[in-house]
Amino acid sequence: MKLIVGLGNPGAQYEKTRHNIGWRVVDAFAEKFRIAVSVHEKNAMTGSGRVGGGSVLVAKPLTYMNLSGDAVRLLTNSYAESLADLLVVYDDIDLPAGKLRIRPNGSAGTHNGMRSIIASLGRDDFPRLRVGVRGGEYDRLRDYVLDEFSPEEQPLIDRSIERAVDALVLFCRGDLRRAMNEFNRDEEAEAGS
């Protein structure tokens, strides 16, 4: 079974913030494949279905971002045969809004949710999909990631969510390498070739 975890914060006030892009990607993926994310278990809301010929569980931790590792560890221990079956989707302030980066492993960078997950799992060798959320200048990182996207940014973000869903399909099919090749490139470069 593949396990896809989208990071975010619970509560209506965070729903459309930059920090909740992981939840938005998981919601879009679940909607596309008619997966009801309605089971409350292991500090998360989960839903299961079949995608790409195999079973998948999607999850949205209900812990706040800084404690995401608690839920991810419980889910991984219960549902993933190996860490290669886990993929975490989260916002990345170091990437321009709309850019996607898929990696098979890596550090947490400046992301507190990923720091929590790596600390809880004791390892960093699991796939992740980073969605760029940097739009303009900001003074305080915490305030910026808890802000909503501007109306000008929203079409770009909507498109990046669609592309992220397509990348997750390839992950479900066991083709992380192809997902990296297709979605780590800039869309503009692809359109020009």
Active site residues: 19
- Distance between CA atoms of 31 and 92, rounded to whole angstroms? 23
101 DSSP 8-state letter: E
Tokens 């706040």 appear where? 64
Residue 105: closest CA among 121, 95, 94: 121
DSSP per-residue codes, 16-39: TBGGGHHHHHHHHHHHHTT----E
Tokens 């879009």 appear where? 28
Q: How many CB atoms lie within 10 A of CB 40?
A: 9
- Distance between CA atoms of 20 and 64, rounded to whole angstroms? 11
Q: What are phi and psi of 169, to 5 degrees?
A: -60, -45
